[in-house]
Every structure is written in structure tokens, then in C-alpha cells.
Amino acid sequence: MPHAIIPARADAGCAPRARRAVRATHLALSGLVLLSAACASSRGPSSTVSETGAPAPEMPGERSATLPDIPPVTGPIRIRVQHPPEGALLAVDSTFVFGTVGSGDAQLRINGVSVPVAPNGAFLAFLAVPNGPAPAYAFEAARRTATPSASDSARFVRAVRRPTRIPLSATGALQVDSSSLAPRGTMRMRSDELVRLSIRAPSNATVWLRTGDQRTVPMVRASDIAQTTAQSAGRAPVSLADAGSDVGTTFVGEARAAQLTSAARVVIARNADTVRLAPIVPELITPLASPRYGVLRNRTPGLVAQSDTDRVVNARPIPDGFSKWALLPGTQLEITGHQGTQTRVRFDSQLETWVPTADLIPLPEGAPAPVRLVGGMRVLPAAEWVDVVIPTGVRPAFLVEPDDATLSVILYDTKLSPDISPMIGNDPLVRQLAWEPVATDRTRLDVRLSAPVYGWLALWDDTRRALVLRVRRVPRINPERPLEGLTLVVDAGHPPGGATGPTGLTEADAVLPI
């Protein structure tokens, strides 16, 4: 993969465009936000550098923000690498490499690639992960002088690791990477659900699943599927990496959970050689089994209150995926499956999601389903907000979606009382409440405001047995003293962890003093 060199802008604040770059870097690096480095994307008109080194064009309608110049630092040439850490396991083909050489008047090469150095000595590059039996990044830094002395240069080696790949030969005795058989761990599923199986084996082998009911289910090469898909879409064939004598590839297939009994086997054959591996045996939920329910719990030490979004349980569309729903502890949900550390729960007849198993306490067998019925809504004004009170009886799974001057609340497994109709709000901010049963067990409430949404909070009122949507009023601002009477809350940068920039500046160091 081509490498990209990115100018490192360390220890500077982020303009709005840079903040978007920080968020993008956060997603791309799975939590390794380059706090100071990512701010480089807002430095003047040529704020972003492409892989070719040319300035990237600005987005339409955006204007670049100019940040203060990086203060120059002149000091000893000392290489300090912030990322990747020593011995890091890098299961990617390229990654960010960043740190500092201690002085802005230095030049730097990493594995032979020239990398720009910022005036304060920081550097940031996106480089290929080295291969070989001992993969490592070799750093060479020297002061930009005509005759550098020994003290004006430094070398450093940062060793990393690549995932162990068991080589599989096209000839000789058949070998299979048995550790790659997936899925692993534990599963609890309905008997008719499909389970995706995969195994890494030589590409010239034949692989199939022999199910517990003695059916033969072929398993195909994932690369063949990718090739066919690319060609049918008119794209160039997928380029497969040259692994030399290693011809290992991944075979995939699927079967019903009920077919994966203790007698089932994944069979890999080549010529006269055969290898048989036992796949996962899921625990089955029979169609006539009584539903099982659980209640989401609060696991935050020292936090007693469970009534609002200070502590939520995140629900995801897929196991370990991005969170979409923020649910209140105390919410009861039907348990419909289990995979690894995640438990599948049912919101209503049309939607199932996944929550961490550790966040769910199973209720005793035989516990009945919760009953949620909306009726008798009220609008309660207060000085700084307006409460929309939605009585449901027990805590529901819900989703709040803001859109300009409307807050839409989706209430799952919640029925609408037929004796209520849209009502006009009794507060200037809440213009109208409108609701409809979008399904037999799903209700949608639209809170229509007289101004764009400024802020909101969802909480549970135990006294009223109601979900409360607290809609924030726009605060009154004194033009002469604009901060008077306001409480400013600053993201403290996840201390003591969080992101670290090339110079070692952490989120907490940058934010807490403010």
C-alpha cells in the first residue's frame, strides 16, 4: 500500500474542520486519536496532504482556519516513538507512525522513507507495516547541517509483530490451520438460525461440512466469491497477495444451528488425505421454549442513580459493532441469543440487538414479559427546560432522533392507548406533540418545537412510572457578560488514558488545565 506522509502539528488547538479530522482519525485508528497530529488538517489552505504529497482540495462551503504557528524547538536529536508501541501486534498492512526527534532542524527517514519533521520536532507518517521474520521500523534522524557530528544524529529501532500465519503447502501431507476454525466460544441461538463457518486450508483442497443430520454442505473459497463479485460488477479482478509457497485460503459456508450437533464435522480433503474438525455446537432455543427475560444493570462503581443517561447500556445492531441505542439500566428485555461476550435481546417483534453480557442480569425462569402502554402524556415547563412526560409503566427501550426543530422518540415494545390524540403543548417551546403506532408494538412520538433543538436528556421518573424527555431551553445570554450564569462542561480527555500526540501531549494534559 502506498505510504502517506502527514505534517505533524503538535500541541495546538483544533478548529472545527480539524475536529472533524480528529473524529475521523479516532474511527480509523479504533481509539488512537492523534490529538495534536490530527489538527494538522486545519493548517491554512494546504491543510491536508494526499498520498502523492499534493495539497488536498477544500470541501465546498468550507473555509480553512489558521492556527498559531508551531513554536520551534532546537535541542538534542533524540528519537521518541509514541506509536506503535514496542512489540505491538499489527494485523493491518499500514499504520500511523508518530513521535518526536527532539528538534525541528532535523531530517528523518523511517525504513528508508523520508518523513517531514515539524518545527518542534514532531513527526507523523502513515507507513506500510514491515514484513519478515523480525519486523521493525528503523529510524534515522540527523541535524540538517553540512557536517553533522555524532551528537547531531540518532538511530532507533522499534520492533513490532505480525499475526502468526501458519504456512500451508500445496503438496505433501495435508495441513490445516485448525486454530482458524470459526466461530469459537459459546453460542445460544434459535434452531433455524444460520451459523457462518470458516476455516483456513490449502486452496487446492476440497472442504465441506458434514452436518449432524448427515447432510453435506459445501464450503467455498472466500476469494472465489470476491473474484466473481468483482467481475460481475465490471471491476478488475481482486488482487491476491503472493504468499510464495503458502497457498492457504479461507473457506466459508453456513448451516442451521440445529445441524451443528456433536456429530457434525468440517471435512478438509486433498487426494488421499482427510482432516476432520468439530465445529461449534450452539445451545438451542427451541420454538416452544418459554421466553427468557433479563434486566440491564448499572456497573459503574459508586454511581447509585440509574435514572438518566449518566450511565447507559449501549446496544448494537451486530455483536461488538458501533453502538446505536443508549438504554437506561433497569430496562427489561427478552433474551434471544448469545455469542461470545455479547447477548442478543429483542426490542420488539421487528428488531433484535446486542448488548454486553456483563450488562444484563437474567430474570428467574418464568418471569412474564413487561407490559408498556403509553397514555396520559403531560408537558411540564421549568425555568431551564421543558419536560415531556411519557408514562409507559416500565422502562422501555427507546431511541431519540433530533431533526432541526423536532425530537422523534421511538418506543419499542410499547403500545399506544387508543384514547389519546395529538395535543398542543402548554409551553412556547413545545409547539405540538404528535404520535402514531408505527407497528403493533412500536410507537413514535414527535415533539415539535418552536425553535431548533438546543439540547435534550432522557431520564426515568420512578414516581410517575414514565420516560421523561427533558428539552433544554436556549440559555439567555448577556451580551456584556456572555459567560455569566452558564456552566461550561469540557471533555476532560479520558484521564488517565486517552489519546497521545507525537510529542507525548495527552488529551488530559491539553484539556484539564482549561
Contact 10, 67 (CB under 8 A): no
Contact 264, 209 (CB under 8 A): yes
Angstrom distance (rounded) from CA 103 to CA 153: 11
Confidence of residue 8 (pLDDT cuts 50, 70, 90): very low
pLDDT digits (tens, 9 = 90+) for 327-361: 999 999 999 999 989 999 999 999 999 999 999 99
- Write down the H helix ranges in 167-251: 222-232
The residue among 158, 101, 154, 155 whose CA lies nearest residue 129 is: 158
More confident residue, 133 or 498: 133
Confidence of residue 302 (pLDDT cuts 50, 70, 90): low
Evaluate if residue 58 carries a pLDDT over 70. Answer: no
Confidence of residue 146 (pLDDT cuts 50, 70, 90): low
**What pLDDT score was predicted for residue 306?**
53
Q: Name the percent of the chain lying above pLDDT 90.
A: 60
pLDDT (mean) for 6-32: 37
Evaluate if residue 42 carries a pLDDT over 50. Answer: no
Confidence of residue 487 (pLDDT cuts 50, 70, 90): confident
**What pLDDT score was predicted for residue 495?**
67
pLDDT digits (tens, 9 = 90+) for 167-209: 999 999 999 999 999 999 899 999 999 999 999 999 999 999 9
Give 276: exposed, middle or buried? Use CB within 10 Å, 0-12, 13-18, 19+: exposed
Provide Rg for the chain, Cα atoms: 29
- What's the whole-number average pLDDT of the chain? 83
> Who contacts 463 (Cβ-Cβ below 8 Å, separation ≥6)?
none
- Beta strands at 206-210 and 194-202: parallel, antiparallel or unpaired: unpaired
Confidence of residue 15 (pLDDT cuts 50, 70, 90): very low
Confidence of residue 63 (pLDDT cuts 50, 70, 90): low
Contact 323, 331 (CB under 8 A): no
Task: Work out whether the CA dihedral 265, 270, 271, 272 comes out positive or negative.
Answer: negative
8, 57, 160, 210 from 62: Cα distances, Å: 22, 10, 39, 58
pLDDT (mean) for 103-121: 96
Angstrom distance (rounded) from CA 284 to CA 258: 7
Query: Exposed e or buried b for every residue in 474-483, given b needs 16+ CB within 10 A?
Result: eeeeeeeeee
Angstrom distance (rounded) from CA 396 to CA 405: 24
pTM of the model: 0.68
Angstrom distance (rounded) from CA 148 to CA 154: 11
**What pLDDT score was predicted for residue 50?**
34
Confidence of residue 248 (pLDDT cuts 50, 70, 90): very high
pLDDT digits (tens, 9 = 90+) for 203-217: 999 999 999 999 999
What are phi and psi for residue 449, nearest 5 degrees? -105, 165
415-418 CB contacts, 8 Å cutoff, 24+ apart = 415/372, 415/373, 415/374, 415/440, 415/441, 415/443, 416/373, 416/374, 416/375, 416/443, 417/373, 417/374, 417/375, 417/376
